[in-house]
């Protein structure tokens, strides 16, 4: 067993609780902690030490946490250098470094829609985070990047490994949370920071100056956030033009499901929901369903299934399919509450559906976590008709709360839900194949046929609640990848 810990430099654009915009913050907030909490035996060969690096976003500055200033160092650019300033704070036992500097706006959002802002910001951050290890004299065994924002650290490592002994033995892992977001539009920043474009022949020409593809070209291991998404990205349907290239890297691509913060999402201890319950007291959910019926002026009949949608309103999530699928299933008795915000066209479609059938369908167009908890705790079916879904959290939350997911068989949804209508026993939800409203409507029909069979329905709920979606499980798998990578000769 190693006597010193395996050292991981973990880079992300956001991490809970410091700054959260989307699901990546949950990953970067939970995975480092879960990795550090593994015992030496669980981790395989000694403990793991993780140090987290984040941009010092204005959202973090506004929290007045007073991180300690450590030092400045220069990052070379075409006309001189820009200064990176490093601050330090320990968060939940994780040593966290915050990088600040002129390309990271003093008062801007975590992500801008303008590549002229995000390009220099994340190129600078990636290069500074890589250099930081050397300035700290802390040589990581693994550099672990996430998504396009930090992919250029992995690419930068690949370049520096050839010439700089400090980096020669550092291995890299790049996790893809969402392939379509590649960081296109950052070409000018490449030139400004003296980054060469790739000459790798297997990479399509259009991708040779795009951060995520360069990270994918240079990472020693690529992790997609579910085993199924790991396969899907090598196909034309999901590969976003990189499928042929990714196929050449197939042996280095792995799939690891994200976890769920099981303490935070626990129906037995959730302080927001009206009635707490667990596996042994599922019947208490009825009171939560009644409370929803009361608040939303719906029919309080336990025989009528309550269907919910909790989603970003985005074409990726198949919200249009949900609306149309429900319209095609109006002949059956069900009620629905649709919660989400985002694309105005999809918001309007949901609102229109609710306006057309006000007695049985409600639309709530906003982001509302307390309401989402109450919906998971009282509703019978969660719709998740995603066109693609790298991992998906909502279905895991639903299962943990005994709400049965009805989802498209894609990405992480296929890995986490076993179709009750499949030949394998032990279903935890309902799956349909094609991204079409008709297929969704058929799946709703088949779920509603099972619903009156209380014993069978309870079985589906209980099996869902028993699933292990812990971060510990994910951390164990990452730890295996790290250790195996150390065996590989560079
Ligand atoms: P994605 O990260 O692609 O949006 P996920 O399923 O991985 O999809 O995670 C979505 C998370 O956001 C879930 O926790 C879900 O409950 C939550 N969520 C989505 N829309 C809303 C909303 N309008 N109000 C509250 N929570 C929401």
DSSP 8-state code for residue 323: H
pLDDT at 442: 98
Confidence of residue 489 (pLDDT cuts 50, 70, 90): confident
Q: Calculate how far, in angstroms, residue 361's C-alpha sits from the geometric centre of ligand 1.
A: 20
Q: Calculate how far, in angstroms, residue 178's C-alpha sits from the geometric centre of ligand 1.
A: 15
The answer to whether the CB of 23 is under 6 A from ligand 1 is yes
For residue 109, the tally of other CB atoms under 10 A from its CB is 13
The answer to whether the CB of 341 is under 6 A from ligand 1 is yes
Q: What is the mean pLDDT of residues 66-81?
A: 97
Report which ligand 1 atom has the smallest distance to the Cα of 372: 25
The answer to whether the CB of 394 is under 6 A from ligand 1 is yes
Q: How far apart are CA 156 and CA 140, in angstroms?
A: 15
Q: How far apart are CA 342 and CA 394, in angstroms?
A: 16
Residue 411, C-beta contacts closer than 8 angstroms, at least 6 positions apart: 226, 228, 229, 232, 238, 386, 388, 389, 390, 391, 392
Percent of the chain with pLDDT over 90: 93
Determine how β-strand 381-384 pairs with β-strand 430-432: unpaired
For residue 490, the tally of other CB atoms under 10 A from its CB is 9
pLDDT tens, residue by residue, 339-360: 999 999 999 999 999 999 999 9
The answer to whether the CB of 427 is under 6 A from ligand 1 is no
SS3 418: coil
Q: Does residue 241 contact residue 428 with C-beta atoms inside 8 Å?
A: no
Residue 307 φ/ψ, nearest 5 degrees: -100, 140
Q: Calculate how far, in angstroms, residue 82's C-alpha sits from the geometric centre of ligand 1.
A: 37
The answer to whether the CB of 372 is under 6 A from ligand 1 is yes
SS3 196: coil
pLDDT at 22: 84
The answer to whether the CB of 312 is under 6 A from ligand 1 is yes
Q: Calculate how far, in angstroms, residue 403's C-alpha sits from the geometric centre of ligand 1.
A: 15
Residue nearest to atom 18 of ligand 1 (CA): 311
Confidence of residue 247 (pLDDT cuts 50, 70, 90): very high
Residue 270, C-beta contacts closer than 8 angstroms, at least 6 positions apart: 276, 373, 377
The answer to whether the CB of 397 is under 6 A from ligand 1 is yes
Q: How far apart are CA 59 and CA 198, in angstroms?
A: 34
Q: Calculate how far, in angstroms, residue 181's C-alpha sits from the geometric centre of ligand 1.
A: 18
Angle at 205 between CA 204 and CA 211, to 5 degrees: 80
pLDDT tens, residue by residue, 184-213: 999 889 999 999 999 999 999 999 999 999
The answer to whether the CB of 340 is under 6 A from ligand 1 is yes
In this predicted structure, the answer to whether residue 453 has a pLDDT above a threshold of 80 is yes
Confidence of residue 447 (pLDDT cuts 50, 70, 90): very high
Q: Is 183 left (phi over 0), alpha (psi -120 to 50) or beta?
A: left
Confidence of residue 42 (pLDDT cuts 50, 70, 90): confident
Q: Which tokens is 146 given? A: 């996430």
* Ligand 1 pocket test target in 14, 20, 21, 23 with most atoms within 8 Å of CB: 23
* Ligand 1 pocket test target in 259, 308, 309, 311 with most atoms within 8 Å of CB: 311
* Ligand 1 pocket test target in 394, 399, 401, 415 with most atoms within 8 Å of CB: 394
Report which ligand 1 atom has the smallest distance to the Cα of 340: 23
Cis peptide before 17 (omega within 30 of 0): yes
In this predicted structure, the answer to whether residue 3 has a pLDDT above a threshold of 80 is no
Residue nearest to atom 16 of ligand 1 (CA): 394
Confidence of residue 46 (pLDDT cuts 50, 70, 90): confident
In this predicted structure, the answer to whether residue 2 has a pLDDT above a threshold of 70 is no
Q: H or E stretch including 35?
A: helix 23-37
SS3 270: coil
Residue-averaged pLDDT of the chain: 96
Q: Which residue has tokens 């690529």? A: 222
pLDDT at 1: 65
In this predicted structure, the answer to whether residue 13 has a pLDDT above a threshold of 70 is yes
The answer to whether the CB of 227 is under 6 A from ligand 1 is no
Q: H or E stretch including 76?
A: strand 68-77
Which residues make beta-bridge pairs with 307?
336, 381
Q: How far apart are CA 421 and CA 87, in angstroms?
A: 54
Q: Which tokens is 192 given? A: 């400004």
Q: How far apart are CA 218 and CA 215, in angstroms?
A: 5
Q: Does residue 234 contact residue 253 with C-beta atoms inside 8 Å?
A: yes
Q: Does residue 181 contact residue 214 with C-beta atoms inside 8 Å?
A: no
CA dihedral (175, 177, 180, 182) positive or negative: negative
Residue nearest to atom 22 of ligand 1 (CA): 367
Q: How far apart are CA 54 and CA 35, in angstroms?
A: 18
CA dihedral (235, 239, 244, 247) positive or negative: negative
Q: Please tell me the least confidently modeled range out of 178-192, 236-250, 318-332.
A: 178-192
Confidence of residue 100 (pLDDT cuts 50, 70, 90): very high
pLDDT tens, residue by residue, 391-424: 999 999 999 999 999 999 999 999 999 999 998 8
The answer to whether the CB of 339 is under 6 A from ligand 1 is yes
Task: Please choose, from the candidates 7, 43, 8, the residue with its C-alpha nearest in 3D space to the C-alpha of residue 144.
Answer: 8
Q: Which tokens is 299 given? A: 């029919």
Report which ligand 1 atom has the smallest distance to the Cα of 366: 23
Q: Does residue 373 contact residue 397 with C-beta atoms inside 8 Å?
A: no
Q: How far apart are CA 418 and CA 463, in angstroms?
A: 10
pLDDT tens, residue by residue, 251-261: 999 999 999 99
The answer to whether the CB of 259 is under 6 A from ligand 1 is no
Q: Calculate how far, in angstroms, residue 310's C-alpha sits from the geometric centre of ligand 1.
A: 6
pLDDT tens, residue by residue, 372-386: 999 999 999 999 999
Query: Quick one: 130 exposed, middle or buried, by C-beta within 10 A (0-12, 13-18, 19+)?
Result: buried
* Ligand 1 pocket test target in 14, 20, 308, 372 with most atoms within 8 Å of CB: 372
Q: What is the mean pLDDT of residues 416-440?
A: 96
Q: What is the mean pLDDT of residues 102-109?
A: 94
Q: What is the mean pLDDT of residues 213-218?
A: 98
pLDDT tens, residue by residue, 151-160: 999 999 999 9
Given strand 361-364, what is the order of strands in its sheet? 361-364, 335-342, 306-313, 381-384, 404-408, 430-432
pTM: 0.94
Q: What is the mean pLDDT of residues 263-276?
A: 96
Residue 116, C-beta contacts closer than 8 angstroms, at least 6 positions apart: 185, 188
End-to-end CA distance of the chain: 22
Q: Which residue has tokens 């880079």? A: 11
pLDDT at 78: 96
pLDDT at 45: 77
Q: Which tokens is 439 given? A: 């297929």
């Amino acid at each position: 067993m190693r006597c010193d810990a395996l050292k991981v430099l973990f880079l992300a654009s956001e991490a809970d609780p410091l700054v959260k915009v989307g699901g990546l913050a949950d990953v970067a907030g939970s995975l480092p902690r879960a990795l550090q909490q593994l015992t030496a035996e669980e981790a395989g060969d000694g403990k793991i030490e993780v140090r987290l690096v984040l941009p010092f976003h204005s959202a973090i500055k506004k929290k007045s946490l007073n991180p300690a200033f450590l030092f400045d160092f220069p990052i070379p650019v075409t006309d001189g250098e820009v200064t990176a300033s490093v601050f330090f704070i320990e968060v939940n036992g994780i040593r966290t470094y915050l990088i600040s500097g002129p390309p990271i706006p003093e008062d801007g959002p975590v992500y801008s829609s303008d590549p002229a802002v995000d390009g220099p910001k994340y190129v600078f951050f990636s290069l500074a985070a890589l250099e930081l290890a050397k300035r700290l004299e802390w040589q990581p065994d693994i550099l672990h990047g996430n998504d396009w924002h930090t992919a250029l650290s992995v690419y930068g490592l690949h370049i520096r490994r050839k010439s700089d002994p400090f980096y020669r033995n550092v291995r890299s892992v790049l996790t893809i949370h969402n392939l379509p977001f590649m960081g296109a539009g950052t070409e000018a920043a490449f030139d400004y920071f003296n980054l060469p474009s790739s000459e790798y022949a297997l990479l399509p020409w259009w991708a040779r100056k795009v951060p995520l593809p360069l990270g994918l070209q240079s990472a020693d291991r690529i992790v997609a956030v579910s085993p199924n998404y790991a396969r899907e990205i090598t196909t034309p349907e999901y590969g976003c033009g990189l499928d042929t290239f990714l196929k050449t890297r197939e042996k280095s691509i792995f799939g690891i499901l994200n976890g769920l913060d099981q303490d935070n999402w626990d129906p037995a201890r959730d302080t927001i929901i009206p009635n707490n319950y667990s596996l042994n007291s599922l019947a208490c959910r009825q009171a939560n369903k009644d409370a929803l019926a009361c608040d939303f002026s719906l029919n309080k009949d336990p025989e009528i299934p309550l269907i919910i949608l909790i989603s970003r309103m985005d074409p990726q999530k198949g919200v249009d399919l949900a609306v149309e699928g429900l319209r095609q299933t109006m002949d059956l008795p069900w009620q629905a509450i649709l919660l989400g915000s985002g694309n105005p066209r999809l918001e309007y479609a949901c609102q229109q559906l609710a306006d057309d059938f006000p007695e049985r369908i409600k639309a709530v167009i906003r982001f509302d976590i307390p309401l989402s908890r109450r919906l998971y705790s009282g509703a019978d079916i969660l719709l998740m008709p995603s066109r693609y879904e790298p991992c998906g959290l909502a279905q895991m939350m639903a299962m943990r709360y005994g709400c049965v997911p009805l989802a498209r068989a894609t990405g992480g949804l296929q890995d986490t839900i076993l179709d009750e209508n499949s030949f394998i026993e032990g279903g935890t939800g309902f799956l349909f194949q094609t991204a079409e409203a008709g297929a969704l409507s058929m799946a709703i029909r088949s779920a509603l046929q099972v619903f009156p069979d209380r014993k069978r329905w309870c079985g589906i709920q209980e099996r869902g609640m028993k699933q292990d979606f812990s971060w510990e499980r994910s951390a164990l798998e990452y730890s295996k990848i790290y250790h195996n990578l150390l065996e590989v000769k560079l």
